Amino acid sequence: MTTVDPVTVEAAGDAVSAASGDVAERSDFGSYLLSKVAAAIVSFFVTLVIGFTIFSIMPSDPVAALTRGRPTSPRQLAALRRQLGVDKPVWVRFVDFLHRTFTLDLGYSYQYHATVTSLIASRIGPTLLLTGSSTLISIVLGIWLGVRSGWRHGSRLDRLSSGVSLTLWSVPTFWLGLILLVAFSVGFGPIPSLFPAGGMTSAGVGGGVIGQVLDVSRHLVLPCLTLVLVVFAQYVTIMRSSIIDELGNPYLLTARAKGLRDDDVRRKHAVPNALLPTVTVIFLQIGGLVGGAITVETVYSWPGLGYLTFNALRIPDLQLLEGTFIIFSASIIVMNLFADILYRFLDPRVRAQ
């Protein structure tokens, strides 16, 4: 959270300074957008430099790392060396790497006998389904609980939800997944086996489209639940603190003086204002969630990018790891950019001009 605050504060400052005239504001937004997009591009370039450093410079012999655990003849090794250009100077390799990345050629996975790009493309859907559904549930649950705890902070509900949030934060995601897996999938004691143990679909499910949707949702329940339990607590904390920040404001006193019920004061006046910083912070976190789902996907063999990363890790298949690293980084950068832009649209001080 500390990493996120300055951005929010900065955005808030921009929003206030932008509230000055229609034309000025529009050109202001243009330059704001331009500077944010430029920053995102620079950030992505730096990510590529770091990725290149990790995967191409740090291994003393990338070819040996690539072929570890696989029988390869000296002739194949020499061919691979030439193909990867290990003998060329570093900057030539970097330019080559940039060119390949921007033409979406992320390398070849010898483990899967497929290009990294095609592997990633086929795994993005399941990951988006898992992270998307769990994020949606977490946001609704987190905001609902955060508003209620913050509105009456110090109450029993508040103390309970703070305690639960703190405990859930301390739980390793993969372990929670394992426990839920044993409890609800393998079946334990009086609990029968309720949900499938892994994967996204079962073989031989009939019933047309509806049957398949039901089958996927049955597989989705446990991994989604695990992610929600780990993630929603953070949203509770964010929403709670921004509601508490609003509590002392005079406009709430005005609303009460008008004779509104407590519920209406909360729903119609406090929540919309408190939502503003929360939504931004939530978007800043979503980008990281895609990469954070690695352990959950591993535990439930969910066929997404995280499980792909785990399988790449076991070999280790460095080209595939590099590809997923770039995708995970890009998702964070895109979401951060989106959060910056969203803030400008959500803030009524900017819109109303």
Partner 1 sequence: MTAVTAPVRVAAPPRTEALRRFVRAYVRMPTGIAGLVVLVAFVALALGAPLFISQDDLNVIKATGASLAPPTAHYPLGTDQAGRSVLLLVIWGTRASLAIGVIATALTMVVGSAIGLVAGHYGGIISRALMHVTDWFIALPGLPLAISLAAVLGQGPTSITIAIAATSWTGTARLVRAQTLAVEARPFVERARALGAGNLQIVSRHVLPNVMPLILVSSTLTVAGAILSETTLTFLGLGDPTNVSWGSMLNQAFNQGAVTGGAWWYLLPPGVAIVIVVLGFTLTGRAVEAILNPRMR
Residues that bind partner 1 (CB under 8 A): 2-3, 6, 43, 46-47, 50-51, 54-55, 58-59, 65, 166-167, 169-176, 178-179, 181-182, 186-188, 197, 287-288, 290-292, 294-295, 298-299, 309-310, 313-314, 316, 318, 321-322, 324-325, 328-329, 331-333, 336
Of 115 and 309, nearer to partner 1 (C-beta) is 309
Of 116 and 321, nearer to partner 1 (C-beta) is 321
Peptide bond into 223 cis (omega under 30): no
Pairing of strands 114-115, 108-109: antiparallel
Give yes or no for a contact between 136 and 200, defined as CB atoms under 8 angstroms apart.
no
Tokens of 178: 């394992």
Work out the widest C-alpha separation in the chain, in whole angstroms.
85
Least spacing, CB of residue 179 vs partner 1, in Å: 6
Residue 199 CA to residue 211 CA, distance in Å, equals 16
Q: Say how many residues make up the chain.
A: 353
Of 270 and 290, nearer to partner 1 (C-beta) is 290
Number of H helices, E strands in the chain: 16, 2
Of 233 and 255, nearer to partner 1 (C-beta) is 233
Least spacing, CB of residue 267 vs partner 1, in Å: 28
Amino acid at 260: L
Non-local (6+) Cβ contacts of 249 within 8 A are: 273
Of 25 and 303, nearer to partner 1 (C-beta) is 303
Least spacing, CB of residue 75 vs partner 1, in Å: 26
Residue 182 CA to residue 229 CA, distance in Å, equals 16
Q: How many CB atoms lie within 10 A of CB 212?
A: 14
Residues linked to residue 191 through DSSP beta bridges, in sequence order: 188
Least spacing, CB of residue 296 vs partner 1, in Å: 11
Q: How many CB atoms lie within 10 A of CB 66?
A: 21
Least spacing, CB of residue 221 vs partner 1, in Å: 17
Q: What are the phi and psi torsion angles at 17 (to 5°)?
A: -70, -20
Give yes or no for a contact between 285 and 344, defined as CB atoms under 8 angstroms apart.
no
Of 183 and 252, nearer to partner 1 (C-beta) is 183
Give yes or no for a contact between 32 and 14, defined as CB atoms under 8 angstroms apart.
yes
Query: What string of DSSP letters covers 227-251?
Result: HHHHHHHHHHHHHHHHHHHHHT-HH
Of 136 and 166, nearer to partner 1 (C-beta) is 166
Tokens of 160: 């309970």
Least spacing, CB of residue 264 vs partner 1, in Å: 31
Residue 78 CA to residue 76 CA, distance in Å, equals 5
Of 281 and 333, nearer to partner 1 (C-beta) is 333
Least spacing, CB of residue 241 vs partner 1, in Å: 11
Of 280 and 309, nearer to partner 1 (C-beta) is 309
